[in-house]
Amino acid sequence: MAEKALIFGGTSGIGKELALLLAQRGMSVTVTGTARCGFDIPNVRVLSIAAEQLLASDSSYMPDSLNDFYGELDECSSLCVSYGPFVSKPLHQTSLAEWKTVALYDYALPGLLVSRALKGMLKRSYGRILLFGGTRTDTIRPCKTNAAYTGAKTGLSVLVKSVSASYGEHNITCNAVLPGFVTSVPKGQQSVSARSVAETAVSLLTNPHLNGNLVTVGNVNF
């Protein structure tokens, strides 16, 4: 039986490159995105799901697309979360709405997906989880321009280490890729390609001996 990979946020950028690489390895791949996203990878299923739908408090009505998504989440052997809005503002200019954005979508949403996926992985005694953190979020660092975002992404590192420590004995691994600058590269910094980041992600997903790792891809100088 082919392994099933679910990539949340897999219709563009790093997620799309990862979907292509996993499909080439024979995995059954499902990606989420919105209908307006162009997608041209054969043999990859696309679910039109918005992150807001997963965090909605009203569960009295669930469209078919959400039922399909939760079915994929429950059955996936590999979960990858390649999603998270970026907020770049100094703290004194960060609004309530922006705090909610990073707290919900950069931290709570990945955590929610991991919690749900773990249930199925525990039943099968097998699972691979891959999250995407932020630049240099492998440890606690001061941040002058995007502290809210960096704080949420640093929280993902805690999640990775916690899953690794708690579920490794069940043949479940959890790692994170911390990419350098793929787009909007600041002056004096080097860019890293989405393909390079995706190739590192594949290595983490396919090596059972890698667990609890926070892997930086690209050179970042501050």
CA-CA distance, 175 to 131, in Å (whole number)? 6
pLDDT digits (tens, 9 = 90+) for 63-94: 778 899 999 999 999 999 999 999 999 999 99
Question: Do the Cβ atoms of 87 and 99 come closer than 8 Å?
Answer: no
Q: Which domains does the chain have, with CATH numbers?
A: 4-217 (3.40.50.720)
Instruction: Output the pLDDT for position 40.
Output: 73
**φ and ψ at residue 213, rounded to 5 degrees:** -95, 140
Instruction: Output the pLDDT for position 215.
Output: 96
Q: Is residue 135 very low, low, confident or very high in pLDDT (cuts 50, 70, 90)?
A: confident
What length is written for the chain?
Answer: 222
Instruction: Output the pLDDT for position 61.
Output: 62
DSSP state of 171: T
User: Looking at per-residue confidence, does 56 or 85 come out higher?
Assistant: 85
Burial 146-155 (b: 16+ CB within 10 A, else e): bbbbbbbbbb
Lowest-pLDDT range, 45-49, 209-213, 216-220? 216-220
pLDDT over 80 (residue 151):
yes
Question: Do the Cβ atoms of 118 and 166 come closer than 8 Å?
Answer: no
